[in-house]
Structure 1
C-alpha cells in the first residue's frame, strides 16, 4: 500500500498549543505498513467521536517499509527514535507526546483504538496508570499463543503481584493509559520488551493511582511473525522483576539459608546427632557452615543492592527495609564484624592449643573440628561484614 493511496481520516481539531492537547494515542512502530493505517483510522475516529482534543503519535523505530509516510498521510505525527527496542521507542514517544494523558498500544491491529472511553474516563478521574486487562475483556481465538495465555502471562503477572503487591492482573497488556508527567517522573530506562514490566513495577513502588479496565485482544493483522520472542522476552521480564525486588531475590532466600545453617551448626556442636537411621556429624557441620556463609552474603547483598538502587533512583527510598539492618552505621557493621571475627579466631586458637597439646601430631576424632568449623565460619562472616559495611558506606557517600 502506498502513502498516496491513503486518504486522511477525519481528524480532531488541532490544538493551538501543547497545553491544549489532552490525549496522545501513541503507537511504537517498526515496519507496520500492513496494519498501521487501520490503527490510525481507529484512533482518529475515537478522538473525533469523543470530542477529545488530541493527537496520534507514531514512534518510529527505524521502519523501512514506508510506515512513516503512511502515518503522515493519515494525519498522524511521527517522531523518529533511533535507539532500537520496544522500550526505547515508547520512551521516545512519551517524551515527544503533547498530551496530558497518553494511551499506548501496538500498531498491529490487535488492540481496539476505537474504544478507549474507559481508559480516558479513569485518567480524567485522577488515575495515573490505567491498565487494560485482556483476560477480563476477552481474547479472540488465535489472538494469543497458548504458551502466553496459560503460562507466560499468568505466571509473570502472579510473580509481579506477589513481589510488588501490584493490583494488576494482566502485567503485559500492551494497551494502557497514563498521566504523561507522572510517567516521566518514574524515569523508565529499559529499552526492550521488559519496559512493560518496568512501568507497572515502578508505578506500584511509587504508589501511583492504578486502575484496570477490560479490553479485548484480536489476532494481529500482520503476515510476518511478531517481534516478540517468547522465551527470550519472558526471561527478560522475569529477570527485571527479580532485580527490582532485592528482598525476594536476596533477603528471603538468604534468611532461610542463614537460619537453617545456624540451627544445624548449633545442633551439632555438642556431638553427633542421630535422627532415625541417619547420623549427622562434622560433615553436616561443614554443610551448615556453607549455608550460613551463603545466607549471610545474600542478606548483605540485599542491603547493598537496595542502597545502590535507591542511590540511583531505581527504587524509592521508602520501599521497605531489610530487618532494620539499613539503619546500622558503618561503625555498627564494623563492631558486629569485629566481634564475630574475634570469636572465630578465639575458637581457632583454642583448636590450635589442643593440637599443640598433642605435639602437632595427627588428630583423630571430630572434637577439634567442632571448634575449627564454627571458628572459621564466624571469622569469615565477620570479615564479610566489615568489607560489606565499607562498601555500603561508599554507595551512600555517592548518594549524598
Structure 2
C-alpha cells in the first residue's frame, strides 16, 4: 500500500519515519523544496522520491496521489510526529469497503505538542464539519482513502486548505468516514510542528482553510 509523505526539510526525521513503516506499506516521499538533503536521504532508504516545485501541502500530496499505484493510499507527515505503525488500523476499514476514508484523531503525548492556537481552530472547523454530517473531531494529517474516489472528489486547494476541502467534499458526497485516535508527539528532532506548532504556521493554515470554507 502506498504511503504519501509530503516533505520539506525533514532529513533528520525521515530515517525514523521510513524505517517504522509497517510491512507492505511503500513510501512515496514528495519533496517540496528541501535544502537539507531530504530527497537523497529518502532515496537511500528505499523510498520513491518525487519533486513538486510548487510550494504547498496540497500540491505535494496531490502529486503523490497521482503517482500512487494502489487502490488504497495513506497520507502521513514526514516529521515523525505521528507513528506509522498506526497506518494498518486506518487502512483496514477502507480496504474492506467499510469506509471511503479513515482519519486519525490526534491525542498529544506531551504538553506543548499541540498549542492552543492550533487546537482552537481545529475544534471550530471540526464542529462545522459535524454540522454538515461528517463525524470528525480533527483535521488530521494521517489518513487512508480510496485513491480513485479521492481523485474523483476533485480537491482543488494546493495549500494548507487541502485537508479541510477534502473533508468538506467528502461530507457533501456522503462518504462513510471512520476516525481513530492516534498518538501525536513532537517532531523527530524534538521540536513541534512547523505548521501547527507556531503562530506563523497556524496563521498560514488558517488563511488557507478560511478560503476553502468561504468557497
Aligned-residue Cα RMSD (Å) equals 1.6
Greater CA deviation, 140-149 or 175-184? 140-149
What SS does the corresponding residue of 2:145 show, helix, strand or coil? strand
Deviation string, structure 1 residues 66-125 (Cα, Å, up to 9, x no partner)? 111111111111111121111000000000112211110111100000232211211122
What SS does the corresponding residue of 1:82 show, helix, strand or coil? coil
Matched, 1:113 2:84: yes
Partner of 2:136: 168
Deviation string, structure 1 residues 109-148 (Cα, Å, up to 9, x no partner)? 00000232211211122121111111xxx31113211222
Corresponding residue to 1:240 among 202, 212, 215: 212
Matches within 5 A, 1:94-243: 94-126=65-97, 127-134=99-106, 138-141=107-110, 142-149=112-119, 151-162=120-131, 164-170=132-138, 172-222=139-189, 226-228=193-195, 229-243=201-215
Number of aligned positions between the proteins = 208
What SS does the corresponding residue of 1:178 show, helix, strand or coil? strand
Matches within 5 A, 1:270-349: none
Deviation string, structure 1 residues 248-304 (Cα, Å, up to 9, x no partner)? xxxxxxxxxxxxxxxxxxxxxxxxxxxxxxxxxxxxxxxxxxxxxxxxxxxxxxxxx
What SS does the corresponding residue of 1:173 show, helix, strand or coil? coil
Compute the displacement of 1:180 (Å). 0.6
What SS does the corresponding residue of 2:183 show, helix, strand or coil? coil
Compute the displacement of 1:63 (Å). 1.4
Tell me how far apart the structure 1 counterparts of residues 205 and 92 of structure 2 sit (CA, whole Å). 32
Compute the displacement of 1:214 (Å). 1.5
Tell me how far apart the structure 2 counterparts of residues 230 and 120 of structure 1 sit (CA, whole Å). 28
Q: 1:31 to 1:166 in 2, by over 3 A?
A: same
Using structure 2 for the length normalisation, give the TM-score.
0.91
Larger Rg: 1
What SS does the corresponding residue of 1:116 show, helix, strand or coil? helix
Using structure 1 for the length normalisation, give the TM-score.
0.50
Q: 1:212 to 1:223 in 2, by over 3 A?
A: closer
Which segments of 5 or more consecutive residues in structure 1 lack a partner in the other structure?
1-22, 244-400
Could you say which structure has the higher helix fraction?
1
Q: After TM superposition, what 4+ stretches of structure 1 lie above 3 angstroms from structure 2?
A: 222-227
Partner of 1:69: 40
What SS does the corresponding residue of 1:59 show, helix, strand or coil? strand
Which segments of 5 or more consecutive residues in structure 2 lack a partner in the other structure?
196-200
Could you say which structure has the higher strand fraction?
2
What SS does the corresponding residue of 1:65 show, helix, strand or coil? coil
Q: 1:103 to 1:167 in 2, by over 3 A?
A: same
Tell me how far apart the structure 2 counterparts of residues 102 and 125 of structure 1 sit (CA, whole Å). 13
